[in-house]
Amino acid sequence: MKSKYLSAISALALLGAAGPAFAAEGVKIGVLNDQSGVYADFGGKWSVEAARMAIEDFGGSVLGQKIELVDADHQNKPDLGVSIARRWFDVEHVDMITELTTSSVALAVQELAKQEKKIDMVVGAGSSRITGDLCSPYGFHWAYDTHALAVGTGGALTEAGGNTWFFLTADYQFGYSLEQDTAAIVKEKGGKVLGAVRHPLNTSDFSSFLLQAQSSKAKVIGLANAGLDTSNAIKQASEFGIVQGGQKLAALLFTLAEVHGLGLQAAQGLQLTESYYWDRDDRSRDFGNRFFKKTGRMPNMVQAGTYSAVTSYLKAVKAAGTKDTEAVTKKLKEMPVDDAFTAHGKVLANGRMVTDLYLFEVKKPSESKKPWDYYNVVATVPGDKAYPTAKESGCPLTK
């Protein structure tokens, strides 16, 4: 996957970075994500619907001009993602691209957006490098990242006695970042990493990887993957009796969508970190219930985060009085984030949106009182603890 990312970046240099010859009327937003693969429930068409809701709630226009929405499936391929994004920027005059599940795609598209001087707002991808050493002056990162997940889930489990770890890691940039960030927190808390094994994206058979993890005798097996990969690993770990044998599974990126797909019987007791839960307060419940009426499901942090990113972008366009990239970027970094996703978000100089995260434990079936009632709150992770400062992030723009 790394080579695909590098080839996508190389293609940008060959194709050049000429933007559109004129500024098109209206404001156009693109949702680019995985709609048919391993992350289709994690974000997918549900994130498109969340973006549509944000536009509807904003009134459908800004600065007297219509807001349009386009979407596409990048199929987790950086080259395809860049090709779609280039067409959107140069031919269809898209002003901002968001969601961008899959870190290799997000990083490649962010590099293109930087060359085109366009805004990208990553929600679904998790690599902390997006606002770290590979940051962009026009790039933003919403909802979560691998560093925040490491602090939330990795830190809590290590402090609770899970002081030896073995990682099952998705073999691309997101997995590497999640493993590295979590390992650093584990060691900081006095724990040890006994080993790791990498698996291809969209793996159907985890048996050999799980046997290695089991034989390591690590107290915690960290699943540094996401979507169906995590669900399949959990199901197959149950077949091997790993949890019954005394080892814990840490789902380092697992959301409400995957819990629903797995079912409470299989997911009960899992600890995970999200930055949004539909049943947390009145505002989140209102958005969750409206989303449910449109989709038949409750949103996870990626879908609610997409709503927030689009809402914040439109607020910034309105405040700037223009859709000019420099002006809107400045407003995004000045304005607080206050919406159904969070009431107290702030955007750092490196584009990282900071807000609290929550460590949840999945309820037992007997504890769930209504549909989608899946979580108990274990702890709140303050945003300034979950994320490094802009200067600490490694982003060269902040030095």
pLDDT tens per residue, range 286-316: 999 999 999 999 999 999 999 999 999 999 9
Q: Which of 100, 116, 146 is nearest to 20 (CA)?
A: 116
pLDDT of residue 24: 64
Asked if residue 151 and residue 91 are part of one domain, the reply reads no
- Alpha-carbon separation of residue 149 from 19, 223, 251 (angstroms): 36, 12, 10
Q: Rounded to two decimals, what is the model's pTM?
A: 0.91
Asked if residue 173 and residue 138 are part of one domain, the reply reads no
- Separation CA 336–CA 354 (nearest Å): 10
Q: How far is CA 74 from the centre of its chain?
A: 16
- For residue 37, give both structure tokens: 């693969």
Mean of the per-residue pLDDT values of the chain: 93
Going by pLDDT thresholds of 50, 70 and 90, the confidence category of residue 14 is very low
Asked if residue 153 and residue 77 are part of one domain, the reply reads no
Note whether residue 1 is domain-resident.
no
Asked if residue 314 and residue 237 are part of one domain, the reply reads no
Q: How far is CA 252 from the centre of its chain?
A: 12
pLDDT of residue 25: 80
pLDDT tens per residue, range 214-268: 999 999 999 999 999 999 999 999 899 998 899 999 999 999 999 999 999 999 9
Calculate mean pLDDT across residues 16-21: 37
Q: How many domains does the chain have?
A: 2
pLDDT tens per residue, range 139-194: 999 999 999 999 999 999 999 999 999 999 999 999 999 999 999 999 999 999 99
Asked if residue 66 and residue 48 are part of one domain, the reply reads yes
Query: Cβ contacts of residue 188 below 8 Å, gap of 6+?
Result: none
Q: How far is CA 250 from the centre of its chain?
A: 17
pLDDT for 75 beyond 50: yes
Asked if residue 367 and residue 324 are part of one domain, the reply reads no
pLDDT of residue 18: 37
- For residue 97, give both structure tokens: 């691209």
Asked if residue 244 and residue 162 are part of one domain, the reply reads yes
Note whether residue 10 is domain-resident.
no
Share of the chain above pLDDT 70, in %: 94
- Separation CA 210–CA 343 (nearest Å): 40
pLDDT for 111 beyond 90: yes
Note whether residue 203 is domain-resident.
yes
Calculate mean pLDDT across residues 8-30: 57
Asked if residue 177 and residue 255 are part of one domain, the reply reads yes
Query: Cβ contacts of residue 224 below 8 Å, gap of 6+?
Result: 167, 168, 169, 170, 175, 178, 179, 182, 196, 252, 253
Question: Radius of gyration over alpha carbons of the chain, in Å?
Answer: 20
Note whether residue 13 is domain-resident.
no
Local structure of residue 396 (DSSP, 8 states): G
Look up tokens 């449910």; give the residue. Answer: 292
Phi-psi region of 181 (alpha: psi -120 to 50; beta: other; left: phi over 0): alpha
Segments of 304-390 assigned E as strands? 346-347, 353-354, 357-362, 375-381
Calculate mean pLDDT across residues 78-90: 98
Asked if residue 348 and residue 245 are part of one domain, the reply reads no
Q: Which of 205, 207, 242 is nearest to 221 (CA)?
A: 242
Asked if residue 139 and residue 37 are part of one domain, the reply reads yes
Note whether residue 15 is domain-resident.
no
Phi first, then psi: give them for residue 228, nearest 5 degrees: -65, -25
Local structure of residue 352 (DSSP, 8 states): B
- Expressed as residue numbers, the domain containing 79 is 28-144+280-355
Note whether residue 254 is domain-resident.
yes
Asked if residue 273 and residue 161 are part of one domain, the reply reads yes
pLDDT of residue 251: 93
pLDDT of residue 192: 98
Phi-psi region of 380 (alpha: psi -120 to 50; beta: other; left: phi over 0): beta
pLDDT for 4 beyond 50: no
CATH number of the domain residue 377 falls in: 3.40.50.2300
pLDDT of residue 11: 47
Note whether residue 9 is domain-resident.
no
- Separation CA 177–CA 162 (nearest Å): 21
pLDDT for 40 beyond 60: yes
Calculate mean pLDDT across residues 13-34: 66
pLDDT for 384 beyond 80: yes
Contact of 152 with 365, CB cutoff 8 Å: no
Note whether residue 261 is domain-resident.
yes
Asked if residue 76 and residue 93 are part of one domain, the reply reads yes
Q: Which of 99, 100, 188, 200 is nearest to 147 (CA)?
A: 188
